[in-house]
A and B are shown apart, each in its own frame.
Chain A
Amino acid sequence: MTEHLMTEPLTEPLTEPLTEPLVTEPLTTELDEATRLTTQPAPVQQPRRGDLFGPLRFGWRQLTSMRTALQLLFLLALASVPGGFLPQRRINPLRVQKYLDDHTVVGPLLDRLSMFDVFSSTWFSAIYLLLFVSLVGCLIPRTRLHLRALRARPPKVPRSLTKLPVSEVFTTTRSVEEELERAHLALKGWRVERRGNELSAEKGYLRETGNLVFHLSLVLLLVGIAIGAFRGFAGTVLVVEGKGFSNTVALFDDVRPGRRFAPDSLVPFSVQLDNFRATYAADGKALTFDADVRWSKDGGPETPYDIRVNHPLKVDGANTYLIGHGYAPHLVFRDTDGTVIDDQALPCLPQDPQFLSTCVLKEPSTKGKQVGFRGVFTPTTVTDEGGRVGSTGPALINPVLTLVAFEGNLGLDGGTPQSVYTLDTATMKPLFGGQAHALLPGQTWRLPSGASLTYVDTREWATFQVTQDPGKLVALVASIGMVGGLLLSLFIRRRRLWVRVSTDEGGPTTVAVGGLARTDPDRFAAEFTAIATQMKE
């Protein structure tokens, strides 16, 4: 027990024997004992020979010892370091890929050690699970002992009060009863126990309570995180102005379900994006992003809402966040005979902070050869001497869609799924010798076949992320418990104080007061003097 993680208080190192009554007889050895308990924990006993469970018990004691817990704690910090420097797959898979491309020797080696998946790696999990097992193994007996201590009476008065760190003896003309009464008054807020003409008082029980609440909250926090990891869900979807989405797994572009996620636990609701607004300062710095949406639950009435950064839409535990935005030129494609076969706002993906964006348009159902376009969209367009386009700002000031057209086979029938953002030109030939064509809003580009593409106007798109985390509330409660417990365990001070009132027949009454501080003994000296003075007056 003495080696347990929390036998040691979180705070002051000296004299914290916790449960056993600290000072009985003989005093000095008791005090030595008290100090020894915390500074030099008893060594873990070697298992006895022939004891079948001996090695197990030995291992358990080792694991739940303070020293092991500390080592695991530092190991946990050390194990997190690669996660703080190297790109992580769960956050940024593209940067991981780039790292692997740039470091062909070290990269795969690091990858084999799970250095790009630190926080889901076996070794990281092993460390924190061992740490939590050690913690629980120490919390259970510690909680039991504290519950007993909470009900226990303050320990008996030591034989010699003057040997305590602080003490005072005075004589008075008041009677024994009067003096005890005064002592009671001076010890307001203390737990006081009277035994004959002696008083034992103690306070600061909340310190250990806080300590336990803090550590129990850590376990609860892990439970909350686990609930989220198993039952939670996150999905992202790109929506162009005028379109919408419903909270259904199949409708998301990208989903991250928990390991035990039940698809029917998704909250049924749908969102319609009416308008996306971004405002920028003159230097191109973003000022505000707003997504004006209407949302409804299962065919119920529609409610308008403004989804912003830091202002998600919350529907029954499902939160919808605005996580990205971009431009979508509204394009109309006419076939060789002039019939409109495609009319859509085409999302272009931003490639740099100035929103130079790229997109691909595929027209497989033409009467003649299939047509494909590769486009570069620039919201604030500049053209250099070489004719290359660029963007000097993210705001929609001077939009241009620069396209290269291809004719041939789009390769969509091969059965292999293709991204809508890439164009496979293996079996296609560029038109106009691969010359790029710049289209302004309202302009039409006629192809040699007679087909044409019109850039009508520019719309915007937004990406939303819908998150459901049923463990969130548990984690929040645990966090509150952590802070509360921490404050109690660091700032509540444990004190013990004893009073002995005696009288010789007919003579004056002698009062002896002694005290022992388990934390912050310097400050206790002043507190003690105040109490003693109050009793003397």
Chain B
Amino acid sequence: MPDQGLGQLSDGLLFAAVIVYALAMLGFAGEQASRNARRVVTSVPAEGRVLLGAGGPPLAVPAETVTTEAPSRAGRFALVLTGCGWAVHVTSLVTRGFAADRVPWGNMYEFSSAVALTAVTVFLVLVVRGRVERALGAFVMLPVVLYLGLAASALYTEAGPLVPALNSYWIKIHVAAAVVASGSFLLSGVVAVLYLLRSRYDEIRAVLDADPRATRPGLLRRGRRRPVRLGFPTTLGAQLPGSTVLDRVSYSVIAFAFPIWTFAVIAGAIWAEAAWGRYWGWDPKETWSFITWVLYAGYLHARATAGWKGRKAAWVAVAAAAALIIDYYVVNIFVVGLHSYA
């Protein structure tokens, strides 16, 4: 029987985790905001770097400038906060599992919480292993906080037993794999969006650097040229890591998640065979899992194909993440199918 006290503890812990994540997000944002202030430009004297003109006097060599950043306490604190929030989040999920006496991913509320936890975990691993700057934190924690807030308010379900169809050891395997893959995919989707921002920023920046008064053809009337301008949200690009880094992070997270997603779909098919008598039946959930899978497979190929790599491939990653969201939320809430219970 569900343990109500533990269930409430789990709810409270999730609430606390969201608050801590939100604070961490503010910390990261603070680090971003103070970035320019902390930027130190040092001039390296052109010592010993003397060019000799042919027979003439030594030519003046311009001093090299090096930009370094003073470390930010806000950023380090935000990272520690994220870690604390993560620990609280894990505890929330574990207590939920004990409260309901089963795996803590038996309904949409629990699933969403677990997916967000995966996204934070993958982000922390990337930062700790030095694959990406923690500066990304503000942009990653914002969707996490919104997602968790939405899940906790709109999808909330009391801790309770599973419906008979879910009562199988496959829920441990199939759903766990789906959680890990989904959390990673959503994170990669966020990074892909950031990549698009950054590469657009770079592009406009390059045009403006070459000619501050550059123009481009109008949207409706090609004849009327309009000035090229840097506007929101493209301006956010200035705060982001380089587009190569973002592209690589997005790719490596997808490369990590794709085999897991493949496995989740296959495990789902094996479970479907045991529960419904067929391993594949184009149930709406199966159909959208298939679309998601095909799009990510397309991304992995596109990223290595001329004419597709770069922005186009990133758009594929965004489309695939959208398909994943439809697969979980739209299908469960609006489309009638065999997965309607969860």
Binding site for B on A (CB under 8 A): 5, 8-13, 16, 38-41, 66-67, 69-70, 73-74, 76-77, 80-81, 83-85, 87-88, 90-92, 95, 118-119, 225, 234, 281, 285-289, 308-312, 319, 321, 323, 465, 467, 469, 472, 475-476, 479, 482-483, 486-487, 490
Contacts and interface: CB of A to CB of B under 8 A. Distances in A.
Contacts of A486: 258-259, 262
A310 B305 contact: no
A77 B295 contact: yes
Interface string B251-282: 00001001100110010011101111111111
A309 B275 contact: yes
Contacts of B57: none
A289 B258 contact: no
B170 interface: yes
A74 B298 contact: yes
A61 to B, nearest CB: 16
Given A9-B304, A77-B298, A91-B281, 11 more contacts: A11-B304, A73-B294, A77-B295, A84-B291, A286-B164, A287-B161, A310-B274, A465-B277, A469-B279, A475-B279, A479-B266
B333 interface: no
A84 B304 contact: no
A472 to B, nearest CB: 7
B284 A310 contact: no
Q: How large is the interface on B (under 10, 10 to 19, 20 to 34, 35 or more residues)?
A: 35 or more
Nearest to A41: B306
Given A76-B294, A83-B282, A95-B336, A319 B277 contact: yes
Contacts of B275: 309-310, 321
B163 A281 contact: no
A286 B166 CA distance: 11
A310 B306 contact: no
B206 interface: no
B165 interface: yes
A204 to B, nearest CB: 15
B42 interface: no
B323 interface: yes
A84 B326 contact: yes
Contacts of B269: 479
Contact of A288 (B164, B170, B270, B305): B164
Interface of B: 160-161, 163-165, 167-168, 170, 255, 258-259, 262-263, 266, 269-271, 273-284, 287-288, 290-291, 294-295, 297-298, 300-309, 316, 323, 326, 331, 335-337
A485 B132 CA distance: 28
Nearest to A320: B277
A95 B337 CA distance: 11
A309 B301 CA distance: 39
B291 A73 contact: no
Contacts of B167: 288, 309-310
A84 B335 contact: yes
Q: Determine chain B's interface SS by DSSP, over half rule.
A: helix
Query: Which of B263, B271, B287, B308 lies at the interface centre, i.e. has the most chain A CB atoms within 10 A of its CB?
Result: B287
A310 B165 contact: yes
B304 A13 contact: yes
Contact of B282 (A88, A288, A308, A311): A88
Contacts of A11: 255, 300, 304
Contacts of B279: 469, 472, 475
Contact of B262 (A38, A309, A482): A482
A5 B306 CA distance: 12
20 contacts: A10-B304, A70-B298, A70-B302, A73-B297, A74-B295, A74-B316, A77-B298, A84-B287, A84-B291, A84-B331, A85-B284, A91-B282, A91-B283, A285-B160, A285-B161, A288-B167, A465-B277, A475-B279, A483-B259, A483-B263
Contacts of B336: 87, 92, 95
Nearest to A466: B277
Contact of A73 (B164, B283, B298): B298
Contacts of A13: 303-304, 309
A490 B294 contact: no
A285 B168 CA distance: 17
Q: Determine chain A's interface SS by DSSP, over half rule.
A: mixed
Contacts of B331: 84
B306 A40 contact: yes
Nearest to B286: A84
B164 A83 contact: no
A321 B291 contact: no
Contact of A67 (B263, B280, B307): B307
A115 B276 CA distance: 24
A91 B339 CA distance: 13
A288 B336 CA distance: 23
- What are the 6 tightest A-B residue pairs by CB atom distance, in nearest-first order? A8-B304, A13-B304, A84-B287, A310-B168, A321-B277, A77-B294
B305 A225 contact: no
A83 B287 CA distance: 7
Given A11-B255, A73-B294, A234-B277, A309 B303 contact: no
Contacts of A118: 282
Contact of A39 (B168, B262, B306): B306
B301 A476 contact: no
Contacts of B165: 309-310
B262 A70 contact: no
A98 B255 CA distance: 42
Contacts of A475: 279
Contacts of A84: 284, 287-288, 291, 326, 331, 335
B135 to A, nearest CB: 19
Contacts of B270: 476
Contacts of A465: 277
Given A8-B301, A475-B279, A81 B170 contact: no
B297 A323 contact: no
Contacts of A41: 305-306
Contact of A85 (B263, B301, B304, B335): B335
Contacts of B259: 483, 486-487, 490
A261 to B, nearest CB: 15
Contacts of A81: 291
A295 B326 CA distance: 43
Given A11-B304, A288-B164, A483 B262 contact: yes
Contacts of A479: 266, 269
A3 to B, nearest CB: 9
A467 B300 contact: no
A77 B291 contact: yes
A278 to B, nearest CB: 9
A77 B282 contact: no
A218 to B, nearest CB: 10
